[in-house]
A and B are shown apart, each in its own frame.
Chain A
Amino acid sequence: MSNKILEIKGLKAEVDGKAILKGLDLAVEAGEVHAIMGPNGSGKSTLTHVLAGREGYVVSGGKVLYKGADLLELETEERAREGVFLAFQYPVEIPGVNNVYLLKAALNAQRKHRGEAELDAIEFLSLVRDKMKLMQMDESFLNRAVNEGFSGGEKKRNEILQMSVLQPTLALLDETDSGLDIDALKIVANGINSLRREDRAIVLVTHYQRLLDYIEPDFVHVLSNGRIVKSGDKSLANELEARGYDWLAEEAVSA
């Protein structure tokens, strides 16, 4: 039996009439960590939004299977409840809504979907406190409005906190390392590493090989102009760090 969590074939997508993904293939198995790198504007975030089901991202070709079933026919929230989690490149601020309240509502929506009992306030608080220790976040963040006034690094930590509470099957982490100082990078990387599991797949979008020193990926892919143009193991990241992306384009032309 295949252990595939995600299988993308010939995916094409456009935003506002502009083609961005142009026939993308990717397969991710349970237990794996895949890193996606690539130049600015190549379509990395677009890929994560298409997978998460953001409105306005129109799939014009190809297919996406998630745990063997068609992902694209599910609503955004259905995908989330089925275990697809996106750590946003730019986490959204929601004034007036407590961080802890969103998190509890999210967890309970997902538990309800799975037919599990909803957690009450006390059960939830003890769960979330443990996770906050892992992320070395102060409890005061619970009662602040979602991402409002959080520093860039705090927002990224908060995303991983949410991931650790929601325990997704497929985690898409879009530049979770950017904007983090050195200590925070270690904390976030530790958090993510602790969330590696045999039945979970993680797709990391990153620009820096640095993150991959902490979170060792099984595969590294280069996304360029809407396609995966090269895949390899961790050494590819080192090569990219040294050589940049231009050589890939040349390689693609000469091939």
Chain B
Amino acid sequence: MASTQKELQRVVDRKYEHGFVTDIESDTLPPGLDENVIRAISARKDEPEYLLEWRLKAYRHWLTMTEPHWAHSNYPPIDYSAISYFSAPKSPDDAPKSLDEVDPKLLETYEKLGIPLHERARLAGVAVDAVFDSVSVATTFKKKLSEAGVIFCPFSEAARDYPELVQQYLGSVVPYTDNFYAALNSAVFTDGSFVFIPKGTRCPMELSTYFRINAANTGQFERTLIIAEEGSEVSYLEGCTAPMRDENQLHAAVVELVALDNARIKYSTVQNWYPGDAEGRGGIYNFVTKRGDCRGNNSRISWTQVETGSAITWKYPSCILRGDNSVGEFYSVAVTNNLQQADTGTKMIHIGRNTRSTIVSKGISAGRGQNAYRGLVKILPGAEGARNYTQCDSLLMGDACGAHTFPYVEVGNPSAIVEHEATTSRIGEDQLYYCRQRGLSEEDAVNMIVNGFCKDVFKELPMEFAVEAQNLLGVTLEGAVG
């Protein structure tokens, strides 16, 4: 009992394994933010004028906004003037043309993370656009993708090479006026990924990016834009892990997805940023705006996320179901341990007729972790025949943690059907005893129960990512039998 609680704690307490700092010279702007900093960022990225103008508008708007505090989180005030808004690894030739040119230190970093980049990429047929600090330093499989007409490149490159596309779609899903962090990101974003899948094309491989945060005190502001034209299909994987350090690091990414008629976008995330130590020191603040726009009829956007890291997570990947018969999905596992706080969920905005959405949220709390699900299902008056199904489950380990559920439902059309189910359970001493009496170790028993709890989400992940996610939770694959 008491000792089982301790055992449980030990299992979930395994030290953050990816904590180290890579020793690469960083080319970093001094801390602080004003229009000159934004001009400097834009100049260093060799950006076209339109983008600088857009950044400045965003910045001026940001100045009029205040930090939101409605999330179920507690943290000291962030000093935005103490953050350095640009940091790029120095390489002799700015950007390497192939993996051979990549700083060996960086490749070593990936090794330590268990991501042998080139092997992994070749074996899995995954194109990797590795973001190290703020500049993309490795891009592979470009050729195969370009043969298919797919554009997959660093955002800054897209801004120069595909200005029409960027101007047409940037901010069309998440305008810079959307929220405080989206405005900040729009002003200072340093890089990210740009994906364009042309009409009728099925992207020939899964796209993947490893986001990293490295240089000390550097806010990380990624910007990702994915456009799937009519009848196209793409699966995008985002995974990340960061070095251990003592200061809180702000991360405020923006991800925009656009799906036109009959297009499908699947966006999967495994997030494992440094959560802070057992006392809650250090750790990443992860304030992200992710939104998908099912702009076309019969389009489909799926978000799948496994959130295990960060000190504070504030994240609501959402779908705007504009097209008739469009489908939005959100599958989430969020784990909080020690003093981690997660406030995550989704918004499903039903605009088109016969739009459907599914929400499956699994929150796991251990230690003194606080886990909140916050979800909005909104059915607009024109959304005839809209349907939503929400399932929201919490698993508690120990009695010092918390789970909270805030489901908001607004139904503006009487034909809509909205279903909500919620459960809360606790890993019991009796369950562990039962498993151990059958011969399982306590650790395997915990893993089995946690994995069983999460399986509805894991099965939505692409295979290799599912494995990574399970490793992350220290679980072994369930469902191999039966």
Contact = CB atoms under 8 A, between A and B. Distances in A.
Interface of A: 52-56, 75-77, 80-81, 85-86, 88, 91-98, 100-107, 109-110, 113, 121, 124-125, 142-143, 145-146, 162, 166
A86 B439 CA distance: 11
B80 interface: no
A106 B449 CA distance: 14
Contacts of A52: 437
Contact of B441 (A97, A109, A142): A109
15 contacts: A55-B433, A76-B433, A80-B436, A92-B428, A92-B431, A92-B434, A94-B431, A94-B449, A95-B452, A97-B478, A98-B481, A102-B438, A106-B439, A143-B482, A166-B438
B449 A96 contact: yes
A80 B452 contact: no
Contact of B440 (A77, A92, A95, A142): A77
B460 interface: no
Contacts of B3: 55
Interface of B: 1, 3-4, 425, 428-431, 433-442, 444, 448-449, 452-453, 455, 478-482
Contacts of A113: 439
B481 A125 contact: yes
Contact of A94 (B434, B442, B444): B434
Considering residues A85, A92, A125, which has the most beta carbons from chain B within 10 angstroms of its beta carbon? A92
Contact of B430 (A92, A96, A104): A92
A63 to B, nearest CB: 21
Contacts of A55: 1, 3-4, 429, 433
Contacts of B478: 97-98, 101
Contacts of A162: 438
Contacts of B479: 98, 101
A100 B481 contact: yes
A166 B440 CA distance: 12
A209 B409 CA distance: 59
A162 B437 CA distance: 11
B397 to A, nearest CB: 14
B473 to A, nearest CB: 13
A125 B482 CA distance: 8
Given A102-B438, A124-B481, A97 B452 contact: yes
Given A96-B452, A96-B455, A110 B439 contact: yes
Contact of B438 (A53, A75, A80, A96): A80
A166 B439 contact: yes
Nearest to B448: A97
Contacts of A56: 1
Contacts of B482: 98, 100-101, 121, 125, 142-143
Given A98-B452, A101-B448, A88 B434 contact: yes
B452 A76 contact: no
5 closest A-B pairs (Cβ-Cβ)?
A: A96-B452, A106-B438, A97-B452, A92-B434, A109-B439
A80 B437 contact: yes
Contacts of B1: 55-56
Contact of B449 (A81, A91, A97, A103): A97
Contact of A76 (B425, B437, B444, B453): B437
